[in-house]
Chains A and B, each alone.
Chain A
Amino acid sequence: MTPLVEARAVRKHFPLGGGWFSRPRAVVRAVEDVSLAIAPGETLGLVGESGCGKSTLGRLLLRLLEPTAGDVRFDGRSLLGLDARALRAVRREMQIVFQDPYGSLDPHMRVGSIVGEGLAIHRLGTRAERRRRVEELLALVGLPPDAARRWPHEFSGGQRQRISIARALAVEPRFVVADEAVSALDVSIQAQIINLLQDLKRRLGLTLLFISHDLRVVEHVSDRVAIMYLGRLVEVAPRDRIYTQARHPYTRALLSAVPVADPHRPRRREPLRGELPSATAPPPGCAFHPRCPHAEDVCRRLVPPLEQGRDGHAVACHVFPAER
């Protein structure tokens, strides 16, 4: 099947410092050589710790950021060659929901205008049709119709996230990036929003990139999971394989660190040494080698490529390569 969304050897470097005439002092290698495909209707969980590049990768897939190298494709077409008009047309099909339900809604706009803004920008329907569509969308995400006339500050965090989701869905996108979309919510509300996202996904046939640092939530929502470390994908596999047969030592360490809500289950940690290195000076070879309990000589010299093994399980590791 043709993937709906695809990254091909994508790279994103951010220069740090420097002025108009001077060279940057350093370069943050936020995303390095990432290739990834998301099938239509699939939910891909993208997991990693802060600063690993997962949000940057999400923005690259939407072309909210220009890649330094590589190609980003949507529905079989490269997004990089598109002119402004063509890009705007594709943008309708791709939306993003952010983490912070307090910072991502304009406090000076009524909820109806926030949700309908995309429709107005893309000149979809008449004013009356747009108003009806906003009502439908509010109902779809479980908000009362009178919400349209109210202001964002009148709503709780969970309700604001519903507004963000309604706004994203207004233009009938096919692909939605949820960037830590439930991370700031209370547990009881988080479950409501996760259920809402899953219901909407099923009903509307959405393709979802679910970016999160929370492995418990990712396990619940994802069909497939990609693990990122210091700008690179280190393991990609169907959900059940990641959670039961992870091969990369980093994935295993992450999983072992998740607190389990079962006081009877013994803990078996696979602790990591040291701290996350800086993305301005990633270690040579496998970027994970300074913290890896299994590192060998080759790990210090060569970057392990992400190799595709059987059952759709890809691993980037010299010591625990993908099973063929």
Chain B
Amino acid sequence: MALLEVHDLALGLPLDGRVVRALDGVSFGLDRGRVLGLVGESGSGKTMTALCLMRLLPPAARILGGQVLLDGRDLLALPEREMRAVRGAGLAMIFQEPMTALNPVLTVGRQIAEAVALHRPLGRRAAWERAVAVLGEVGFPDPERRARDYPHQLSGGMRQRAMIAMAISCEPKVLIADEPTTALDVTIQAEILDLLAALRARHGMALLLITHDLGVVAEHADEVAIMYGGRIVEHAATAEVFDHALHPYTQALLRSMPALGRRQERLEAIPGQVPDLRRLPRGCAFHDRCPRAIAECRLAPPPLEEKAPGHRVACIRV
């Protein structure tokens, strides 16, 4: 059994007076020390998946079914009080924009110390020392002094490090990173991703890395799950996805992006628009943009099936 197992997760969101399925049939497992890259475009459901795992959904959202098992315990069945203990020590999450996650009126050291004290029977002094230690671990120079800085006194890259420090302060088993570097410059982005890789190696955390950037997953993920229209459409080891993508959407996505050193006259764009959850096409959500679609694709969403060893694909044409 994997450390984290997600079974058949379905999520309903009220939009324009009716409930749309923002997630459907989402299933995957994640083992200790592994990195799963969750890739998709806007509205594909990658952030919603993360928020389901954390149970930090918007109030109107409803989980319609499925299980989230952490060490065999179903998080979706826990009372909120117990879930609060899981956040931080079981699962922790970092976001794209650190300023939304950090409290602007507390020093970074103080808010990390408070997070630590919530989970551990530590005195103020010991909690503060733990905060300084994790700030040092995420690469804060002179952490003793910088722990007294307020978030606005930090650069974007340092704020992201502070948020990572808070997230790892209670030694979570799974760290969820939602577009952790999208708002950062490319040189800082590389540093933050290298930091996450080092932390994972050091502590054996599992990492769910949510991104739209296939370059980031190629460099940092052990396996990749591609989402489209609220479902996982392909899931395999990273090299397998890049070398032998089977789903037409994954293939098209890989061809549509410019890559360093690969010259092409024209990018192979995917026709049409990224689907709107309110108007998801019937059947396979990709069929109206898919070069290989046939009439049958419109009938029902294809199940995610193992088409090659360890390689799951949701497409009836594969």
A187 and B41 within 8 A (CB): yes
Task: Say whether, besides A191-B267, A253-B187, A186 and B41 are in contact (CB < 8 Å).
Answer: yes
A189 CA / B212 CA spacing, docked (Å)? 12
Within the complex, the shortest CB–CB distance from A153 to chain B, in Å, comes to: 12
Let me know if B16 is at the binding interface, CB within 8 A: no
B274 and A50 within 8 A (CB): no
Within the complex, the shortest CB–CB distance from A181 to chain B, in Å, comes to: 14
Chain A residues near B267 (CB-CB < 8 A)? 191, 194-195, 220
Q: Which of B236-286 contact A (CB under 8 A)?
A: 238-239, 242, 252-254, 256-261, 264, 266-271, 273-274, 276
Within the complex, the shortest CB–CB distance from A223 to chain B, in Å, comes to: 13
A260 and B219 within 8 A (CB): yes
Task: Say whether, besides A49-B187, A216-B260, A263 and B269 are in contact (CB < 8 Å).
Answer: no
Let me know if B190 is at the binding interface, CB within 8 A: yes
- Mark contacts of B15-43 with chain A using CB atoms, 8 A cut-off: 1 yes-contact digit, 0 otherwise: 00000000000000000000000000110
Candidate in B253, B254, B264 with the most chain A CB atoms within 10 angstroms: B253
Chain B residues near A188 (CB-CB < 8 A)? 41, 252-253, 256, 269-270, 274
B242 and A254 within 8 A (CB): no
Q: Contact check: which of B158, B215, B252 meets A258 at CB < 8 Å?
A: B215
Range of interface residues on A (Cβ < 8 Å): 35 or more
B187 and A259 within 8 A (CB): no
Task: Say whether, besides A215-B260, A261-B218, A275-B158, A156 and B186 are in contact (CB < 8 Å).
Answer: no
Let me know if A200 is at the binding interface, CB within 8 A: no
A156 CA / B191 CA spacing, docked (Å)? 33
B157 to A, closest residue via Cβ: A275
- Mark contacts of B158-173 with chain A using CB atoms, 8 A cut-off: 1 yes-contact digit, 0 otherwise: 1000000000000000
A243 and B256 within 8 A (CB): no
B269 and A216 within 8 A (CB): no
Q: Which of B203-243 contact A (CB under 8 A)?
A: 212-216, 218-220, 238-239, 242
Q: Which of A238-292 contact B (CB under 8 A)?
A: 243, 253-264, 267, 269, 271-272, 275-276
Interface of A is mostly: helix
A255 and B187 within 8 A (CB): no
Chain B residues near A262 (CB-CB < 8 A)? 218, 242, 259
B224 to A, closest residue via Cβ: A263
Chain A residues near B215 (CB-CB < 8 A)? 216, 258-261
A121 CA / B84 CA spacing, docked (Å)? 59
B141 to A, closest residue via Cβ: A274
B274 and A49 within 8 A (CB): no
How many inter-chain residue pairs (CB < 8 Å) link A and B?
Answer: 125
Q: Contact check: which of A187, A191, A192 meets B212 at CB < 8 Å?
A: A187
Chain B residues near A215 (CB-CB < 8 A)? 186, 260
A263 and B157 within 8 A (CB): no
B242 to A, closest residue via Cβ: A263
Chain A residues near B42 (CB-CB < 8 A)? 157, 186
Chain B residues near A258 (CB-CB < 8 A)? 186, 215, 260
| Total interface residues in chain B, CB < 8 Å | 44
Within the complex, the shortest CB–CB distance from A214 to chain B, in Å, comes to: 8
Q: Contact check: which of A190, A243, A257, A271 meets B261 at CB < 8 Å?
A: A243
Let me know if A217 is at the binding interface, CB within 8 A: yes
Chain A residues near B212 (CB-CB < 8 A)? 186-187
Within the complex, the shortest CB–CB distance from A263 to chain B, in Å, comes to: 5
Let me know if A35 is at the binding interface, CB within 8 A: no
Q: Contact check: which of B185, B193, B261, B268 meets A191 at CB < 8 Å?
A: B268
B186 and A257 within 8 A (CB): yes
- Mark contacts of A214-234 with chain B using CB atoms, 8 A cut-off: 1 yes-contact digit, 0 otherwise: 011101100000000000000
Chain A residues near B260 (CB-CB < 8 A)? 215-216, 219, 243, 255, 258, 260
Q: Contact check: which of A198, A255, A259 meets B218 at CB < 8 Å?
A: A259
Chain A residues near B253 (CB-CB < 8 A)? 187-188
B256 and A259 within 8 A (CB): no
Let me know if A159 is at the binding interface, CB within 8 A: yes
Q: Contact check: which of A191, A255, A271, A276 meets B256 at CB < 8 Å?
A: A191
20 intermolecular pairs with C-beta atoms under 8 Å apart: A49-B185, A156-B276, A159-B273, A186-B42, A187-B214, A188-B41, A188-B253, A189-B269, A190-B257, A191-B256, A191-B269, A192-B269, A217-B258, A220-B267, A257-B189, A258-B186, A259-B189, A259-B193, A260-B259, A261-B218
Task: State the B residues within 8 Å of A (CB).
Answer: 41-42, 155, 157-158, 185-191, 193-194, 212-216, 218-220, 238-239, 242, 252-254, 256-261, 264, 266-271, 273-274, 276
Closest 6 CB pairs of A and B: A259-B215, A191-B269, A49-B185, A220-B258, A186-B41, A188-B270
